[in-house]
Homo-oligomer: A and B are copies of this chain.
Amino acid sequence: MVTLEDVARHAGVSLATASRVLNGSTRQVGASLRAKVELSASELGYRTNVAAQTLARGASNVIGLVVHDLIDPYFAAIADGAMRVAESQGLMVMMGTTHRDPSREIAYVSTLNAQRVRAVLLVGSRVADPEPTRRLREELDRYRETGGRVACVGQDLLGTDTVVPDNRAGAAALARALAGLGHRKFAVLAGPDWLLAPRDRVAGFVGALEELGLPEPLVLYGSFDREGGYAAATQATGVTCVFAVTDVMAVGALASFRDRGVRVPEDVSVAGFDDIFTLRDLVPALSTVRLPLPQMGARALELALDATGEARAETVAGEVILRESTRALD
């Protein structure tokens, strides 16, 4: 293992000089010494020991990124946006997946704190139970006390900078658009009730229908994935329009209807939420609420990195996009 000291000795300079040449300092180093050091470093194949550097500097060049599930394209898209920002700033990304287990989220924050990462990005819905949120917040506070920066994508419940998808308003707008198509009898394929994002979407949708004086929709709970959408959709009878709280669940619903010979949109309209890029080519094309996922991830990291005093919450609106999976009732 080649150390800075080896390089310094080989170049015939002091450790300090070698450090200043190789690892970016404000201090000037004379051209001839600088050249010698650089040559030695490359001849010996020197690689900075980042752990030592972090220890000495008291700050690392790593950020932490905690998401629920990488396979879910929702998170992949947000993560991608965040990673682009990280790359552009020369930061490495330490990634953790919680598989929707709040305690794993807490554990990751603790670990990332131990790693002394520059910033932590928490991506994904908070849970309804206040207890894990309280403990997470405690852990985050501990991290922030020592200079850590935090930002979230999700509900603004942690006292951090947060990019908040406006789930309620988006779902409400979708409800109005769907009602505008003439639909009156709805089913909502809701995700698990203990997650806030699906909850808010359901609430927004239901609330908007109520405001319009329409009958209450049939709310069917299922897991937060394709299978959940499939299962819930099998019970969605007697309605003209189905709102699945995520595109991924909507895909399950489409599959369910297809398997049962129910035509979309002729027999039933289906809408999702998120506008997942990979699903853009579904047939029928999915009506949905578009969220600018990569931008949200990027923005969250930007917020975390440029530290201001108080926590900011930036709401991002969803845009209703009607495609082929929903049709106007005649």
Contact = CB atoms under 8 A, between A and B. Distances in A.
A83 B55 CA distance: 27
Given A52-B55, A71-B80, A116-B49, A94 B92 contact: yes
Interface string A67-85: 0011101001101100100
A16 interface: no
A114 B47 contact: yes
Contacts of A111: 92
Nearest to A293: B71
A6 to B, nearest CB: 13
A73 B278 contact: yes
A91 to B, nearest CB: 10
A87 interface: yes
A96 to B, nearest CB: 7
A15 B92 CA distance: 32
A79 B73 contact: no
A62 interface: yes
Contact of A79 (B60, B70, B142, B280): B70
Interface of A: 1, 45, 47-52, 54-55, 60, 62, 65, 69-71, 73, 76-77, 79-80, 83, 87, 92-97, 110-111, 113-116, 142, 146, 226, 248, 251-252, 254-255, 258, 277-283
